[in-house]
Structure 1
Amino acid sequence: MLSTTRTRAALTAIAVVAATLLASCETPPPPPPVVAAPAAPPPITLSSSIVEKASAFRGYMQRAEAISPTFENGDQIQSSLKVAVAYEPKQFLAGATAYAAVLALQDPTFVASVRAFAADPAQRQQVVNQLIADPAYAVGFKGSDTAAGLIIDTLGADGLKLYTAGKAVKQSAYDIQRSKWSTQSVLDRDGRLAYAKTMSATPGLADSVDMAALQQASIGAVPPTITVRSAPPPYKPLVIRGMAVAALAALGYAGDDKLTLIDAVMAEPASAMCLNMGKLNLYQCLAVAKPHYEDVFCLGQHIMMDTGMCVMKASGAELPYEAPRLLPVKESISVKGAGSNSKKAKAAAAKPAAKKKS
């Protein structure tokens, strides 16, 4: 009995040793698979040059709409003219489009919809290529309707403010005729026309503080200041291209290194026609205006009102019911109705600004 027990114990020990040796010869199990963390999408990036253009546009609008309709002498009129003429149409429109991009980047739904394609490099590049080939591709993203509404309402309100301020200035052209000084002739009429042409070919300047605010707004750090609404398509080219630039920025593809490409996306052939016509009407108006009150008319109608209307039209906002068409017509040139199609007015308006002698 004792012998049998010892034998079993010995056999058990041998079995345990054998199992241990066998186990040590087996291939160890593979380690658990390493799950790679999802790729982080690139940050929202908008070129500082684009922000600068947006700031230059916004700065001009704020300065021009602040022009007071109360004039007491010719110097005040000339100072206001210098403020109001200081924009170059193509850069001005590019600034409006850049500002539209900043506004679209403040729409969280639109930005989130675009950034859903940012993490995967292949998807991101595919969307980028589509936006470059056809900026209207941006309309397909969720939230594009509210982003468009934000652009239309903001630019439309800015344009209306300038237009309304221009109406008040235009009215003052009639009101100040009661003052003798307003009927006196403007000094250096040729010089002020040349200045208008020079400043109309000079890019506007941005404000550094405003640029910083717009840069923060472009990354969603500043919420919209107006109630966002849905605006159904179709949209104006400015709105579409602004959203396309915003979409590229949301994909991290609108930095300073992509500036040439972004400028091409923003450009719209012949889109500055309205602003160019306003400038032409202004030159013709200044060419025939003689007394101070006629300069006030040129300022109110052909700078402030015309420019404000062009901004509203470019955004797709509703125009005031009385808004005139931008055509060079006789009665639109001066308070007295001097003919804009006169040989003298056309010749003076078409003459380029004299170059300063070095």
Structure 2
Amino acid sequence: MKTALLSRGLSAAALAAAVLLASCESGPSKAELEAQRLAAELAARKPPPVSLNQGVADAAAIYVAFLREAQTIQPGGFPDAESIQAALRKGSAYDADQLSRGLIAYGAIIALQSPEFVAGVQQYAIDPAQRQRMVAQIVADPAYAATLPGADAAAGLISATVGKDAIAMRAIAEAIEQDAYTIQGRSDPRRQWAITPIPNREVRLESAKTLSAVKMLPSPEESSRLFAAANSGTGLELEPSRKGPPYTPAVVRSLAIAALGALGSGGDEARVNTEALTHEPNSEFCMDMSKLMLFQCLAASRPSYEDIFCLGRHITRDLATCTTEATQITTIVVGDPQETGAAPARTPISVTVPQATPVPTPAVATTQSLNTTPSP
């Protein structure tokens, strides 16, 4: 009897287990299905994450690394002629177009550090159809990005960050240019070699031209840091700033690239768009003209003190000038306004950019006229 009861009990337990297993195999319950549906709807109401491709970070890394290297050119009294030539080689080792594109790419990454701008753009990215329309409009007309909410906060970050670097470079330039005069003084112990004609002048000119033609490669560490900052919105530790329109074409393009990233449409699939937006004719023209003026200056320069002038005027000062012109609405002249061939900027007058305190310099006709007709 007990055996029969035990047998029936085991059979019931087995049946219950079979029913339980069958219910599990039949799929999720209605409650589970409803929870999944609600989760999917919630996800659909969120914008895609920020996405900016590695190419933008690489371009920005080239600009940041070169600017950091250029800022190590400090006058402090050049001890010998070779130290001047070393500074010239360091300062001329950039491709003008790459540096211009890198500046705009860097501006885009700076813009993505603005939570206000990112949130302002992303509010329109929830609906996929609307997001695609916005992407198309930005690509067709980059200036559209400058009208989006928070653009003034992002533009302020760009202008303030790049502006600080420009002011630092301008201060270096003025110190170097002053040294070109100081070294000529009879009380300066460097005067004897500073006024001596440079041997093999053509070699140093050709060296500058060769270095200018070498394509620049991004630092992997710098590129990785900027890529992470672009996609996370943090890491550059910038002071908040705000700047209203009008904006320069370079700032507009930086905002456009950043807007694509905030819409989740700046990843690897969008490299064609982001690459095209880094090209800006005014910025490229300024960098190219700076190089031409440097070559002309070196062609005319004979003693070492004139090479110091070329270094200060057409490397450090022109870098400050071109980066200022790219981010500030103002009128800028590449090189000395009194020099033959100096090129006026193409942007209209609006505000005056901050200048480092100028150092008075005596009138030295030879140095001031370096950019006239080159000597053979």
Identical amino acids, percent of aligned pairs: 36
Maintained 8 Å contact 1:155/1:312: yes
Paired residue for 1:53? 59
Paired residue for 1:213? 225
2:140 to 133, 138, 141: 133
Structure 1's 327 and 117: CA in aligned 2 closer, same or farther, altered over 3 A? farther
Which contiguous aligned blocks of 4+ residues in structure 1 show a shift greater than 6 angstroms?
30-33, 317-321, 330-334
Q: Which letter maps to 2:295?
A: Y
Unpaired runs of 5+ residues, structure 2, are 1-29, 343-361
Paired residue for 1:336? 367
Maintained 8 Å contact 1:85/1:199: yes
Q: Which is further off, 280-289 or 97-106?
A: 280-289
Q: Which letter maps to 1:78?
A: Q
Q: TM-score if structure 2 supplies the norm length?
A: 0.77
Matches within 5 A, 1:259-270: 259-270=271-282
2:301 to 270, 286, 289: 289
Paired residue for 1:104? 111
Tell me how far apart the structure 1 counterparts of residues 101 and 299 of structure 2 sit (CA, whole Å). 28
Q: Which letter maps to 1:91?
A: Q
Larger Rg: 1
> Is it true that 1:202 corresponds to 2:214 in the alignment?
yes
Paired residue for 2:125? 118
1:97-130 Cα distance to aligned partner (Å, 9 max, x none): 0000000000001001112233322111011001
- Aligned-partner SS, 2:213: coil
Maintained 8 Å contact 1:281/1:328: no
- Aligned-partner SS, 2:198: coil
Structure 1's 148 and 221: CA in aligned 2 closer, same or farther, altered over 3 A? closer
Tell me how far apart the structure 1 counterparts of residues 338 and 58 of structure 2 sit (CA, whole Å). 29
Paired residue for 2:97? 90
Tell me how far apart the structure 1 counterparts of residues 217 and 278 of structure 2 sit (CA, whole Å). 19
Tell me how far apart the structure 1 counterparts of residues 364 and 272 of structure 2 sit (CA, whole Å). 39
Matches within 5 A, 1:245-256: 245-256=257-268
1:168-192 Cα distance to aligned partner (Å, 9 max, x none): 1111111222321112222321111
What is the CA distance between 1:78 and its match in structure 2? 0.8
Structure 1's 279 and 337: CA in aligned 2 closer, same or farther, altered over 3 A? same
Structure 1's 68 and 146: CA in aligned 2 closer, same or farther, altered over 3 A? same
Tell me how far apart the structure 2 counterparts of residues 333 and 193 of structure 1 sit (CA, whole Å). 23
Maintained 8 Å contact 1:183/1:292: yes
What is the CA distance between 1:282 and its match in structure 2? 0.9
Paired residue for 1:273? 285
Paired residue for 2:88? 81
Structure 1's 156 and 333: CA in aligned 2 closer, same or farther, altered over 3 A? farther
Structure 1's 86 and 339: CA in aligned 2 closer, same or farther, altered over 3 A? closer
Maintained 8 Å contact 1:152/1:315: yes
What is the CA distance between 1:320 and its match in structure 2? 9.7
What is the CA distance between 1:262 and its match in structure 2? 1.3
- Aligned-partner SS, 2:340: coil
Paired residue for 1:157? 164
- Aligned-partner SS, 2:179: helix
What is the CA distance between 1:251 and its match in structure 2? 1.5
Tell me how far apart the structure 2 counterparts of residues 286 and 98 of structure 1 sit (CA, whole Å). 31
Tell me how far apart the structure 2 counterparts of residues 196 and 262 of structure 1 sit (CA, whole Å). 31
1:145 to 141, 152, 172: 152
Structure 1's 280 and 112: CA in aligned 2 closer, same or farther, altered over 3 A? same
Tell me how far apart the structure 2 counterparts of residues 332 and 258 of structure 1 sit (CA, whole Å). 53
What is the CA distance between 1:328 and its match in structure 2? 3.2
